[in-house]
Amino acid sequence: MNPTLRPPAVAGMFYPQSPAALGREVADLLAHAREPTLTAKAVVAPHAGYVYSGATAAAVYASLAPRRAVIRRVVLLGPTHRVAVRGLALPASTAFATPLGTIPVDQAAVAAIADLPQVVVSEAAHAQEHSLEVQLPFLQCALDAFTLLPLAVGQASPGEVAEVLERLWGGPETLIVISSDLSHYLPYDAARATDADTARRILALDPHIDHQQACGATPLNGLLLAARRHGLQATQVDLRNSGDAGVNSAGDKSRVVGYGAFAFCAASAAPPPGGSAHAR
């Protein structure tokens, strides 16, 4: 095994392990997503198994199609689920693999943030973390060749996250992706009400979302701070929960998980304030 390669950890669990099956599933999800006319600098996408949240993730990734040849670097932040870490953890690995291929870690981006005290290196934080990995096949299908700057976010302030994003902001070649689900294990109707309130906060760029509202609240709040500073406008692309999934095991409505997809664009490139590209 190449010690500099982070291999897939949740292939066969969160998404298909077979390259052909995975490619077909992601292509089908993207093909069935309605494509809002957006030029997003940043997006928020969920990170559950594709049977649960794949359609929601596809809704925002499909919107990247017009820019697939423009985006050359993806800055990907997601919460840590297995290994506690103080700050934002870079991997020691120099590439990430999925069944669809290998993505190089952007070493220039690593160097750009290496001096920040809240940035650490932890291969353990990345080794089994699904919140980042499940985004990669969508990115591989939605974009042409790109480099990756993956950050597993643990205990940090919104300001610390925003400071990292400022260093990496770049221009049209850089896309920021925040991986986050919304509420967890509420009854269906309660989840819909809670997630609708969280969506309103995201659209208002309110950086005070808590971890009951979004498991990726820490990186999400950092993005909301940075979006305010850069004059971005948020658009809701999709909002649903696991109770909306169309299979028996994924359609249980007694304890559901919420999923939202959001895009952040320059005001001139976004729908009217409070607009929603589509919701369910």
pLDDT of residue 1: 45
Query: What pLDDT digit, counting tens, does each position of 147-203 carry?
Result: 999 999 999 999 999 999 999 999 999 999 999 999 999 999 999 999 999 999 999
- The reply to whether 186 falls in a domain is yes
Q: Report the chain's mean pLDDT, rounded to a whole number.
A: 92
Q: How confident is the model at residue 3 (pLDDT cuts 50, 70, 90)?
A: low
Using alpha carbons only, how large is the chain's radius of gyration in Å? 17
| For residue 279, pLDDT beyond 80 | no
Model pTM?
Answer: 0.92
DSSP 34-86: ------EEEEEE--S-HHHHHHHHHHHHGGGGGGTTT--EEEEEEE-SSS--B
- The reply to whether 35 falls in a domain is yes
- The reply to whether 109 falls in a domain is yes
First to last CA, the chain: 43
CATH of the domain at 160: 3.40.830.10
Compute the average pLDDT of residues 256-277: 77
Lowest mean pLDDT segment, chosen from 10-24, 55-69, 210-224, 234-248: 234-248
- The reply to whether 247 falls in a domain is no
DSSP H/E element including 228: helix 217-229
Structural domain that includes position 40: 22-231+253-259
- The reply to whether 69 falls in a domain is yes
| For residue 246, pLDDT beyond 90 | no
Count of domains for the chain: 1
- The reply to whether 183 falls in a domain is yes
Query: What pLDDT digit, counting tens, does each position of 64-121 carry?
Result: 998 999 999 999 999 999 898 999 999 999 999 999 999 999 999 999 999 999 999 9
- The reply to whether 116 falls in a domain is yes
- The reply to whether 29 falls in a domain is yes
